[in-house]
Amino acid sequence: MSGTEYPEGAIKCLDKGFIRLVDSMGGDDAIVQAARVSYGKGTKKVSQDRGLIRYLMRHRHTTPFEMVEFKFHCKMPIFVARQWVRHRTANINEYSLRYSEARDEFYIPGKDDIHFQSKLNKQGRAVEEVPDELKEKIIGYFRDVSEQSFRIYRELNEAGIARELARAILPVNIYTEWYWKNDLHNILHFLHLRMDTHAQYEIRVYARAMATFVKKIAPIAYEAFEDYVINGMRFSGPEQHLFTKRIPPRVVEDILEDIAYRIVATLHRNKTRTGDELYELYRKNGGKDSRTDFELKWASGEVEPGNVRELREFKEKLLQFKV
Amino acid sequence: MSGTEYPEGAIKCLDKGFIRLVDSMGGDDAIVQAARVSYGKGTKKVSQDRGLIRYLMRHRHTTPFEMVEFKFHCKMPIFVARQWVRHRTANINEYSLRYSEARDEFYIPGKDDIHFQSKLNKQGRAVEEVPDELKEKIIGYFRDVSEQSFRIYRELNEAGIARELARAILPVNIYTEWYWKNDLHNILHFLHLRMDTHAQYEIRVYARAMATFVKKIAPIAYEAFEDYVINGMRFSGPEQHLFTKRIPPRVVEDILEDIAYRIVATLHRNKTRTGDELYELYRKNGGKDSRTDFELKWASGEVEPGNVRELREFKEKLLQFKV
Amino acid sequence: MSGTEYPEGAIKCLDKGFIRLVDSMGGDDAIVQAARVSYGKGTKKVSQDRGLIRYLMRHRHTTPFEMVEFKFHCKMPIFVARQWVRHRTANINEYSLRYSEARDEFYIPGKDDIHFQSKLNKQGRAVEEVPDELKEKIIGYFRDVSEQSFRIYRELNEAGIARELARAILPVNIYTEWYWKNDLHNILHFLHLRMDTHAQYEIRVYARAMATFVKKIAPIAYEAFEDYVINGMRFSGPEQHLFTKRIPPRVVEDILEDIAYRIVATLHRNKTRTGDELYELYRKNGGKDSRTDFELKWASGEVEPGNVRELREFKEKLLQFKV
Amino acid sequence: MSGTEYPEGAIKCLDKGFIRLVDSMGGDDAIVQAARVSYGKGTKKVSQDRGLIRYLMRHRHTTPFEMVEFKFHCKMPIFVARQWVRHRTANINEYSLRYSEARDEFYIPGKDDIHFQSKLNKQGRAVEEVPDELKEKIIGYFRDVSEQSFRIYRELNEAGIARELARAILPVNIYTEWYWKNDLHNILHFLHLRMDTHAQYEIRVYARAMATFVKKIAPIAYEAFEDYVINGMRFSGPEQHLFTKRIPPRVVEDILEDIAYRIVATLHRNKTRTGDELYELYRKNGGKDSRTDFELKWASGEVEPGNVRELREFKEKLLQFKV
């Protein structure tokens, strides 16, 4: 098989595939613009835009994220395309083997990609190492089947057999390619599912590469996505019940204290205050330390600012632990 | 390869596939009910329901057809599934080769299914006959590749290799299966595209089988679909221009006369009228024959009734030819 | 305004609206069937079906829930319909004021429905009580505007003015009605957003009524939805960080102990075991108590069984707190 | 009511509304690029691109048109927005009366917009003139109801009543606004339905304005849309039957002759030929005139070139008339 060519700006994926951003419309700005649905309220500060985007992400106000559009050019094995295509909001134009001849490009797994079936996870790969010899045998099989079926495909083609039938002999590791267009909201959903450790390794490679482009075009939205969707943790009702029962009230109080300090630090950063005002602000935000303790802690320099709104929402969540 | 089992009520498709109706919700009644969006206007006659459904189809009032839902169980080769899945409004649950083991069932084309590439139609098959010997060779290839790749697949499986990787060696003629659920409007769109002579033979087989079930559940809607969508003819602006220029006014007049007679016959069938009333009705509907000629023609018994509304709409269309 | 009629089986909503289930296709069974994508593996025990449905819900395997379809007939004020229609996967047939005359039915809020604008929540109502006198004045306004605009509408109608224009004078509290068809997955998404305390009161009434029907048709799926979606709790990355830092290792150990006990109780319920086997099972599941302590606790009868798979997943989540 | 401001580049619609193009991604080029799904086959001539786009439109190959995206900012009365929102593939961010205060802007129909209800068309307006006095009365009603309801709305707002409730008193002629994003294929579908004479006048105004922007961004696609979708004519099966029966074979022959001449003219334009070659080409394309007649006709200069592929497809359609 001959060398694969990569279009400019493409990120290589697997042995012969790639993904590249062809075009995009809008970015963080377009999210803010849509959320404000207004034209002429003047430019807001970046910090406010960031706060707004994070608020939207946190509260699942998804429509403003739909206002950003991406178009990718992707090349991947058919078995990867088959998972990918299930994301139904995308627009797709795929290379057609009814119209055009197949190309001699097949996915041959590398040694690192070959694993045993996981015993725990019915759909995954185990961590246990496959013996090198077996790996080589498997790689050989992939090569042989790919070469042989392509040889037959070519023979049928040369004999003038209808392409739409001849291609039926090709294995699902053959590469196909497409243009794939989707909006940011649905792309983030795709990334959430396909960058996950439960997703098949071969599609995860593409999802991670796609994420690189998304991050470049809409960095604030992507950061919010990481903070609230990717890195979050979810407890079910029954779990939460077990959890709440066991958390000592003291722990909740401690976290609430942390929050009070961080709110003060954040407000202070945005608008400087004097000592007395600071302690008052701290008390108003639910802080319970004495003035002396407050001053000590404050002076320690350990208090990190954050986002006031987020911290207040966290506080409300924690209060549920006290019931 | 062992014998394929077919679930009850399934229509066999290709050599080992099938399609069967698992469940459905509503039929012609549900279309009428949705179109009327009312509860308690009393039962209407079937003839009126039919007229309403045909009116809706003719005028592309598509939402009432979305109120009928079908769920099918289908088994087809992957290369067919890949075309099918592009109909994005459907809900799909497919047999997963990440969770479950592949089964030794491959599509092997029959002799009648093997054709040359069409020279005229880049995506189709030619009518020209393929020599029998070549056909047999091709069938042999399909068998060999299928058997060999399955043998390797099984070996990898037995060695404990992750299923999600092992399956990547299988060809696209392997059978997969799924539950496929969709509404009538979108199913008719699917049928329109996939029963068409431009669709690949292998998916046409499934579309035609699906149509059998649809016809049974919603016969009036299906008939309207045939009359207005499948069997209609469409002229583009430029074509219509060329056409109109060449049609002699006399021809248009003749068709308009036909229409006037048919409208009268239809109204007469619904409510009987006497001789004088008939001629008057005929004149009112644009008929230009003399009373004597009208009586002669009427007595000939050649006038067929139709649907008044449809005939009047046709008349309006024809008047554009007179400009 | 005359008395509103309610169709059979309808749940009354607001002062003149309702929602009723017209038809449905499938239920918990259909979810299981789709998840298994197989026909003839024999009937499984209900307990296994329940486990499977809960597993699917927990892991966001959403497609099997799409296999269940509901069709509702709903009557609601236009301003409620305007929020509702944004759920784009639904099929809708609405009463059209271009074809049909408007009916004299308007939403007049009751005293309990009138609240001040929330200061905290830009889109909500405050808890603070509105004076009775003001409430009565407002109700009077609603009545007056509704009556007056309908009087004018009727006058325009009687004068023969085009209905599509005349209706433009009507306020958004006039009732409209529609058939609304959707699949279970998307209905649960609707319920999640619209039963939420952040949703407008007037649409929440409909969402809660809709939930009653859904619960009846797919009780196991609905219960899982409550446990994992409605009643769960979600921590963002930054929150989780703050949280983890403060939870003493001892607390996590205690919860892990709880889990070990519950897993044993669950396995024991499914298949009875003797004393020795129990302790061994307990140790195998990560329990750290001594045999004596185990026996004491076990004898206390306080250990509740649960779902083994869920408990193990919870355990894995907790282990992240120990890092 | 104060003067309405229009953002730059907006097309004014109705008395206070507008539509403007905020952003777009791709144009005719993107359609061609997607159809070719390739990167580097060199630049093709514009004439070929045009032929390809027209071919795609003619054969309903809709996916390449989905690769072009538009984002509009629109301001329209609620009753118009209610029709518009039914196009479900669009992404929408609307001005929310739960978050923000309503603005005092209502659609007041002009004298030219007031018509009687059509007797023929249940959903339309008649051509018959409404007396001037009645028109003025109606305009007065619209003004009064708008002003009065807004006065009450403002009073409720000032009294601090929740905005989400207060807005329920406003009529559907109040203006709202939104960002609306959609792809070209679905926009053309929107235009097809909403520029149609059966669509309500008030939404047609917006559709026509939208078309202006679309035409600018993708002129070749828009022209093909006009030729094949807007200006085409469709005959149902039964109509075609009536039609075919009455068209004299001579007429069909004449049109086929026209086509043969036009094909020759087109091929000649693309590549010049000498006299003898021309006649041969003409015969090969089904022409039946004698050499002398051919030369006379050709010399007349009346033969217009067209698109060879389109003409051949028309020919095939016509041959069905000869059966």
DSSP track, B232-278: -EEE-HHHHHHHHHHS-HHHHHHHHHHHHHHHHHHHHHHS---HHHH
Q: Is D25 on the interface with A (CB under 8 A)?
A: yes
C93: phi then psi, degrees, rounded to nearest 5: -125, 110
Radius of gyration (Cα) for chain C, nearest Å?
Answer: 27
Give the pLDDT mean for D5-23: 95
**pLDDT of B216 above 70:** yes
For residue B264, give every residue at least 6 positions away whose Cβ sits within 8 Å of its Cβ, in sequence order, or none. Answer: B278, B281, B282, B285, B287, B298, B303
- Banded model confidence at residue A323, pLDDT cuts 50, 70, 90: low
β-bridge partners, A20: A73
Based on its alpha-carbon atoms, the radius of gyration of chain D, rounded to whole angstroms, reads 27
C-alpha triplet B100, B102, B105: angle, nearest 5°? 145
pLDDT at D283 over 90: yes
pLDDT of residue A3: 64
- Which member of D20, D167, D194, D262 is catalytic? D194
Q: Mutation target for B interface from A16, A78, A79, A108: give the one with most B CBs within 10 A.
A: A79
Distance in Å, alpha carbon of D136 to nearest chain C alpha carbon:
12
pTM metric for this prediction: 0.92
In the predicted structure, residue C3 carries a pLDDT above the cut 70: no
What pLDDT, in 10s, does the model give residues D127-155? 788 999 999 999 999 999 999 999 999 99
* Average pLDDT over every residue of D274-281: 89
Surface-to-core class of residue D14, CB atoms within 10 Å of its CB (0-12 exposed, 13-18 middle, 19+ buried): buried
pLDDT of residue B170: 98
How much of chain A exceeds pLDDT 90, in percent? Answer: 67
> What pLDDT sits at residue D143?
98
Asked if A122 is an interface residue toward chain C (Cβ–Cβ < 8 A), one would say: no
Q: Which residues contact D165 (CB under 8 A, 6 or more apart)?
A: C109, C113, C114, C115, C125, D156
Locate A38 and state its tokens: 């207004």
pLDDT of residue A43: 41
Phi, psi of D19 (to 5 degrees): -145, 135
Place of tokens 């005229």: B120
A31-60 pLDDT, tens per residue? 999 998 853 344 455 568 898 999 999 988
So what's the pLDDT on residue C42? 41
- Token pair belonging to B63: 């939402």
Distance between CA atoms of residues D181 and D190, nearest Å: 12
Q: Rounded to whole angstroms, what are the CA distances from D200 to B185, D115, D197?
A: 24, 12, 8
Predicted local confidence at residue C48, as pLDDT: 82
D119 has a chain B CB within 8 A of its CB: no
* The pLDDT of residue D3: 64
Q: Which domains does chain C have, with CATH numbers?
A: 11-107+172-230 (3.30.1360.170), 237-322 (no CATH)
pLDDT at B235: 86
Residues in chain B: 323
- Are the beta carbons of C23 and B30 separated by less than 8 Å? yes
pLDDT of B180 reads: 98
CA atoms within 13 A of residue D24's CA, in its CB half-sphere: 21
Residues A119-133, mean pLDDT to the nearest whole number: 81
Other CB atoms within a 10 A radius of the CB of residue C55 amount to 16
Give the pLDDT confidence of D58-82 residue by residue, as tens digits.
989 999 999 999 999 999 999 999 9
Above 50 in pLDDT, residue C43?
A: no
Q: What are the tens digits of pLDDT across the range D174-204?
A: 999 999 999 999 999 999 999 999 899 999 9
Give kind and range of the element (H or E) at residue C74: strand C69-77
Task: Report d(CA C149, CA C169) in Å as an integer.
Answer: 6
Between chain C and chain D, the number of residue pairs with CB atoms below 8 A apart is 139
Predicted confidence at residue C323, as pLDDT, reads: 59
Most distant pair of Cα atoms in chain B: their distance:
92
Q: In 3D, which of D144, D180, D140, D158 has the Cα closest to residue D102?
A: D158
Across all residues in chain B, what is the average pLDDT? 91
Mean pLDDT of B108-119: 92
Catalytic one of B20, B54, B194, B262: B194
Q: Which of A307-311, A318-322, B189-193 has the lowest mean pLDDT?
A: A318-322
Work out the pLDDT band at C135, boundaries 50, 70, 90. Answer: very high
pLDDT at C46: 56
Q: What integer pLDDT is reported at residue B323 of this predicted model?
A: 59
Find the CB nearest D168 among C77, C85, C156.
C77
Whether pLDDT at D99 is above 90 = no
- Least Cα distance to D17 among D88, D79, D70 occurs for D79
The answer to whether A94 contacts D178, with C-beta atoms less than 8 Å apart, is no
**Is A79 in Cβ contact with B168 (below 8 Å)?**
yes
**What is the pLDDT, as a whole number, of residue D42?**
41
Report d(CA A308, CA A313) in Å as an integer.
Answer: 9
Lowest mean pLDDT among A238-242, B15-19, B121-125, C279-283: B121-125
Within 10 angstroms of residue D120's Cβ, the number of other Cβ atoms is 7
| CB proximity B64 to C under 8 Å | yes
Q: What is the pLDDT of residue B46?
A: 56
Work out the burial of residue C8: count CB atoms within 10 Å of its CB; fewer than 13 is exposed, 13-18 middle, 19 or more buried.
exposed
Give the single-character DSSP code of C229. Answer: I
* Higher pLDDT, residue D271 or C133: C133
Report pLDDT for C239. Answer: 86
